[in-house]
Amino acid sequence: MNKIRELLEGHIIDYIESDMTTVTVDKSKLKKVLSLLKDDIDLKFTQLIDLCAVDYVEYGDSEWQTKEATSTGYNRGIRPSSHSRIDFSNETNEDEYDLCVTYHLLSITHNQRIRVKCFLDDDSLIIPSVTDLFASADWYEREAYDLFGVLFEGHNDLRRILTDYGFIGHPFRKKFPLVGNTQVRYDPEQRRVVNEPVDIEPRTLVPKVIRKK
């Protein structure tokens, strides 16, 4: 819709019409763009329907790639690409990420939706919080912080929300292993629940395949 394009001229990096209008903004312009969208009388995107983070670090990677004929045949693709474990002494393994925060807004007045994407720089996980614009952002931002480690500046209660009390790491990042790092069990001798390193072997049942048509 041209109205959006006009309004956001100079504030956005990218504008695409796909399943819905999708704009990409820089972190510094994020709050400006969202408040413009919210307050404009012809748009009135007053409801934040969804907020989520995406980790783009493995985007387009295939687990089933060979350059030449292989003698190992079906052994390829068994090891999942996200098999790395966190070394608790230094958290470097999990450091590889490429995060993006996506906002889905809805205008109930004009029956229209828009998606706003904001990529995070490599060196900083901080992004401004939008809790002062949309009340529903509160828990969504806590979730994105919990699962991806995005730090929302200005959120006044940025605690973990879905994972266990005392959980370490941000499990929805692509480099976080699917089987996790720790498991809990009841120890009858100590008579309490203990945490220990996970003993499940990570494996892939169906490898990720990308077929270009």
Partner 1 sequence: MSDYKNFTMNFGPQHPAAHGVLRLILEMDGEVIRSADPHIGLLHRATEKLAESKPYNQNIGYMDRLDYVSMMCNEHAYVLAIEDIMKLDIPERSKYIRVMFDEITRILNHLLWLGAHALDIGAMSVFLYAFREREDLMDCYEAVSGTRMHATYYRPGGVAKDLPNIMPKYMLNKNQNLDQVEKLNYNREGSLLDFIDSFIDRFPKNVDEYENLLTDNRIWKQRTVGIGVVSPDRAIDLGFTGPMLRGSGVEWDLRKKEPYEIYKNLEFDIPIGTEGDSYDRYLVRMQEMRESAKIIKQCCDWLKNDNGDFISSNNKIAPPDRDDMKENMESLIHHFKLFSEGYCLPVGETYKCVEAPKGEFGIYMISDGANKPYRLKIRAPGFPHLASLDEMVKGHMLSDVVTIIGTQDIVFGEIDR
Instruction: Match 């230094």 to its residue by tokens.
Output: 90
Q: Which residues of 135-154 are buried (b: 16+ CB within 10 A; e: fewer)?
A: eebbebbbbbbbbbbbbbee
State in angstroms the smallest separation of the CB of 95 from partner 1. Answer: 19
Residue of the chain from 36, 49, 125, 126 that contacts partner 1 (CB under 8 A): 49
State in angstroms the smallest separation of the CB of 208 from partner 1. Answer: 5
* 185 is a contact residue toward partner 1 (CB under 8 A): no
Residue of the chain from 94, 130, 138, 152 that contacts partner 1 (CB under 8 A): 138
3-state secondary structure at position 74: helix
Pick the stretch among 7-15, 17-25, 86-94, 118-126 that binds partner 1 (CB under 8 A): 17-25
Token pair belonging to 208: 């990720």
Do residues 204 and 78 lie in contact, with contact meaning Cβ atoms separated by under 8 Å?
Answer: yes
* 21 is a contact residue toward partner 1 (CB under 8 A): no
Token pair belonging to 190: 């100590």
Residue of the chain from 1, 13, 108, 194 that contacts partner 1 (CB under 8 A): 108
* 79 is a contact residue toward partner 1 (CB under 8 A): no
Do residues 63 and 209 lie in contact, with contact meaning Cβ atoms separated by under 8 Å?
Answer: yes
Dist. CA 9–CA 18, nearest whole Å: 19
Q: Which among 99, 104, 129, 108 has a CA at the least distance from the CA of 50?
A: 104
Q: Nearer Cβ to partner 1, position 90 or 211?
A: 211
Do residues 209 and 201 lie in contact, with contact meaning Cβ atoms separated by under 8 Å?
Answer: no
* 162 is a contact residue toward partner 1 (CB under 8 A): yes
Q: Nearer Cβ to partner 1, position 84 or 136?
A: 136
* 75 is a contact residue toward partner 1 (CB under 8 A): no
Pick the stretch among 67-75, 86-94, 163-171, 193-201 that binds partner 1 (CB under 8 A): 163-171
3-state secondary structure at position 205: coil
Dist. CA 1–CA 32, nearest whole Å: 19
Pick the stretch among 4-12, 40-48, 91-99, 184-192 that binds partner 1 (CB under 8 A): 40-48
Strand partners, 185: 194
Residues that bind partner 1 in the complex, under the rule CB under 8 A:
18-20, 22, 46-50, 52, 54-55, 58-60, 62, 80, 102, 104, 108, 111, 113, 115, 134-136, 138-140, 160-164, 171-172, 178, 204-206, 208-213
